[in-house]
Amino acid sequence: MDPLWMIAFLVSVLLWSSKTFVFYFKTCLYFVLMMCLAVIVIPVCILKNRGRNVENMRVIRFLVRHVKFILGLRYEVKGLENLQVDGPYVIVSNHQSSLDVLVGLACWLGGTVFINRKRTDDAKSAMAEAARTMLKDQVPIVPVVFSSYSSFYLPKEKLFKCGTVKLTILPAIGTKGMTSDGVSELSQKCYELMHSVFTEISKPANHKVHSD
C-alpha cells in the first residue's frame, strides 16, 4: 500500500476512535491555519489601509470565515438588529482564544480592543479605555458577547469536538452628554452587563433553573 494512503487510513481511524488524537489534530490544524492566514492578513492590512484601521476587518473576515467549517463549529447569533445604529459606533467584545502573536496582531490591525474575561481587573481596564474613547467622540458602545467554549473545547480533558458558539449583540449604550467623570460608571455598567450575558449564554444546554 502506498505510504500516503497508509497515513491517511491511520489518521482516519484515529480521528474516529481517539478523542485525544482528535484534540491534538484539530488544535494543530487550527494553529497552522490561523498562522498561515495571519501571515497573509498582516501585510495586506498594512499595505491596504496603512496600519490599524477598522476597514482591515473586512480583509480578516474574508480570509478566516471558512475556518469554522473546517473545525466543525457553528454560530448562533442573536440581536443583529442592534447593529442598526445611526452613525459610527464601537463594538466591544469579550471574545478570547489562544491565538498566536501573529494572529493577535492581525486582529489588532483591525482595531480590536482585547479583553481577558478570566482576569476581572484587565477586563475593567479595557472597558475603561473604551469608555474614555467613546466619551471623547460621543459615540455609542455596542457590546457583543461570545459564550464560553467549554462545551466543546477543554484542553485539560483533551476535548475538541464540534460545537456551537453563542453570540449575543446587545443594544447600544449611548454616551452623548457624558463627560470624563462618567468613565468609571460607564465601564462598570458595560462590564457587568456583558458578564451577566456571558454567564447566561454559557450555561449548558440542559441547564435548568429551579424556582420555589
Extents of the domains making up the chain = 3-201
Distance CA 74, CA 118 (A): 23
Q: What is the pLDDT of residue 206?
A: 59
* Residue closest to 11 by CA, chosen among 24, 190, 62: 24
Distance CA 20, CA 8 (A): 18
Residue 168 three-state SS: strand
The pLDDT confidence band at residue 198, using thresholds 50, 70 and 90, is very high
Q: What is the pLDDT of residues 23-60, one digit of tens each?
A: 888 888 888 888 888 888 888 888 887 777 778 888 88
The three cell numbers of residue 182 are: 462618567
CA 104 to chain centre: 11
Q: What is the pLDDT of residues 148-165, one digit of tens each?
A: 888 888 888 888 888 898
Say which residue, 101 or 124, is predicted with more confidence. 124
Contact 34, 64 (CB under 8 A): yes
Of 102-116, 154-168, 179-193, give the range with the top mean pLDDT. 154-168
